[in-house]
Amino acid sequence: MKMGYNLHLEQSQKLVMTPQLKQAIKILQLASIELDQYIEQQVETNPILEINQDTPELPGNETEGPVEEKINWKEYVEDFDNYEYAKKPYNEDEQFNYENIVSKETTLQEHLLFQYHITLLDYKYNEIGEYIINNLNENGYLTISVEEIAKELQEEPSTVENILKIIQTFDPPGVAARNLKECLLIQLEQLHGISDNVYKLVENHLEEVAENKYPLIAKKMDITTKEVQDICDFIRTLEPKPGRRFASINNNYLVPDAVIKKIGREYLVILNDRNAPRLTIRDDYRKLLTNENENSDTVKFLNDKLNSAIWLIRSIEQRRQTIYKVVEMIVKKQRNFFEYGKKHLKPMTLKEIAEEIQVHESTVSRATNGKYVDTPIGVFELKYFFSSGVEGSDGEGISAESIKNYIKEIVELENPHKPLSDEKICKQLTLRGINVSRRTVAKYRDDLNISSSSKRKRY
């Protein structure tokens, strides 16, 4: 075998992940709030960038034409002023809106501490009560045991238990319970005229209630099945999570990235970036770039920062255009959904949209991940519109979300004394032109948190 060295040329294509490309991908993935935070960070690190706070000038009022030629910003800023992102949004109706006023809701801890501090207790018990209240979770349940609290505060367990009993009498009823059974019993104690059978059922048969085993409970308690069902209906009127009606300490705000409005018979896509910070190039640094007396190090530094700034602005503009095209294509393909509701959602894939707007499938995935759209029928994540489905009897595709809505509708209309099994629901869907298996129906029913027919039965 002959071995040796030789030299040959080969031409190939490959993708190089430059820092600019990584930045563009990152910006495309960011949600609106995250993008605003990222822009603020870039403004702090790049002195050439600044947030535009002025109203954009009307066309024809440009006075910097000669300066542009002298600066010679090459191809980077040829169409900078044409970027929609760089322009400040103009709101024609500057009317006062009460919805713009942010109010602060009371948290569960604040509500309980107020009640505790007006309770006539010795001052030395304040620390115990505050410690208990601050260890309640968002549902109002105590997350640690009495023994742990007593050990931490070096108090007697009986003292801690007594303070806990006092807090359990506060509003909302059932608060500071250690489990569901105690929560329901606290609420029953605060009501009047409750029969002993209700207490017995909560004490001994909660798990059987969850399994809908009413005849078995009736046999054990020596009462009729109808009485058991009435007691269970009453128990379901109690609040299993007393703290959930109060504001959470960690509030999550949702800002739609786009708005779809119906005007006449047409749907209009509006990007929700009116209040987003607009980036521009600082005028004083433009003048420094034109100064021929500046040393080479300064010019090199400014050019690097300028290139970084222009690339950032272009990446944000590209993100804006990509999201707009994706939402526009969703409106085009899912028009029946916006016209007639969720049951008319069609199957749609990322690849299908990517081919329409001539981008890679991964680009559409990044543009839809974590992004929301405000529509005439509610706010949806863009990922919601992409789902698999089956072919209907008419040849049209039916998405999984549409099938779930049909299942929900069938269950709502069923006879509660004779609930439909998965097999019967499957036959009902077949009559509507939807051919799915029983296992698929069971899967979608579980996704909707609908119990099986045995647990839905009424006696």
**Cα dihedral 352, 356, 358, 364 in deg (nearest 10):** -50
255 and 345 co-located in one domain: yes
The answer to whether residues 209 and 236 touch, using CB atoms and an 8 Å cutoff, is no
241 and 137 co-located in one domain: yes
Residue in the structure block whose two tokens are 């238990």: 161
Last residue of a domain, one of 246, 264, 282: 246
- pLDDT attached to residue 303: 82
242 and 254 co-located in one domain: no
334 and 303 co-located in one domain: yes
- pLDDT attached to residue 393: 56
Q: What DSSP state is assigned to residue 50?
A: E
24 and 130 co-located in one domain: no
Last residue of a domain, one of 195, 228, 246: 246
Number of folded domains that form the chain: 3
Q: What angle do CA 454, 457, 459 make, to 5 degrees?
A: 130
- pLDDT attached to residue 69: 40
Q: Which residue from 96, 102, 91, 81 is spatially nearest to 278, judged by alpha carbons?
A: 81
138 and 239 co-located in one domain: yes
- Entry field: residues in the chain: 459
Q: For residue 417, give the CATH number of its domain.
A: 1.10.10.60
Residue 119 belongs to domain spanning: 108-246
224 and 152 co-located in one domain: yes
* Sequential pLDDT tens for the chain (459 residues): 567 777 878 787 766 667 777 888 888 888 888 888 888 888 888 888 888 765 444 343 443 444 344 444 444 444 445 555 555 444 444 455 555 555 567 889 999 999 999 988 888 899 999 999 999 999 999 999 999 999 999 999 999 999 999 999 999 999 999 999 999 999 999 988 899 999 999 999 999 988 889 999 999 999 999 999 999 999 999 999 999 888 654 555 678 889 999 998 899 999 887 767 788 888 777 777 666 565 677 778 888 888 888 888 888 889 999 999 999 999 999 998 898 888 888 888 899 999 999 999 999 999 998 899 999 988 899 988 988 766 665 556 678 888 888 899 899 989 988 999 999 999 888 888 888 888 888 888 988 888 888 888 887
* Rounded Cα distance, 202 and 51, in Å: 61
Last residue of a domain, one of 229, 246, 263: 246
Q: pTM of the entire structure?
A: 0.60
The answer to whether residues 316 and 249 touch, using CB atoms and an 8 Å cutoff, is no
SS3 category, 404: helix
Tell me whether residue 452 is in a domain: yes
Q: What DSSP state is assigned to residue 177?
A: B
Q: Which residue from 311, 250, 320 is spatially nearest to 281, judged by alpha carbons?
A: 311
196 and 304 co-located in one domain: no
Instruction: Give backbone dihedrals phi and psi of 372, rounded to 5 degrees, phi first.
Output: -125, 155
Amino acid found at 272:
N
Residue 10's alpha-carbon distances to 6, 13, 161, in angstroms, are 13, 10, 81
164 and 210 co-located in one domain: yes
Tell me whether residue 97 is in a domain: no
Tell me whether residue 131 is in a domain: yes
Cα 342 → chain centroid: 19
Tell me whether residue 422 is in a domain: yes
Cα 19 → chain centroid: 30
* Rounded Cα distance, 166 and 110, in Å: 17
Tell me whether residue 62 is in a domain: no
Rg of the chain, C-alpha, whole Å: 32
The half-sphere exposure of 203 on its side-chain side, counting CA atoms within 13 A, is: 8
222 and 126 co-located in one domain: yes
Q: Please list, in sequence order, all residues whose beta carbon lies within 8 angstroms of the beta carbon of residue 307, skipping any fewer than 6 positions away.
A: 76
The answer to whether residues 350 and 363 touch, using CB atoms and an 8 Å cutoff, is no
The answer to whether residues 49 and 281 touch, using CB atoms and an 8 Å cutoff, is yes
Evaluated on CA atoms 31, 36, 37, 39, the torsion sign reads positive
DSSP H helical ranges for 191-260? 196-204, 206-210, 214-221, 225-235
Cα 286 → chain centroid: 42
- pLDDT attached to residue 82: 52
* Rounded Cα distance, 357 and 366, in Å: 14
Helix, strand, coil content of the chain in percent (nearest 5): 50, 10, 40
Cα 185 → chain centroid: 35
The answer to whether residues 371 and 411 touch, using CB atoms and an 8 Å cutoff, is no
Instruction: Give backbone dihedrals phi and psi of 397, rounded to 5 degrees, phi first.
Output: -75, 145
Tell me whether residue 282 is in a domain: yes
40 and 127 co-located in one domain: no
* Rounded Cα distance, 431 and 422, in Å: 14
Q: Please list, in sequence order, all residues whose beta carbon lies within 8 angstroms of the beta carbon of residue 326, skipping any fewer than 6 positions away.
A: 353, 357, 364, 367, 368, 382
255 and 373 co-located in one domain: yes
Tell me whether residue 413 is in a domain: yes
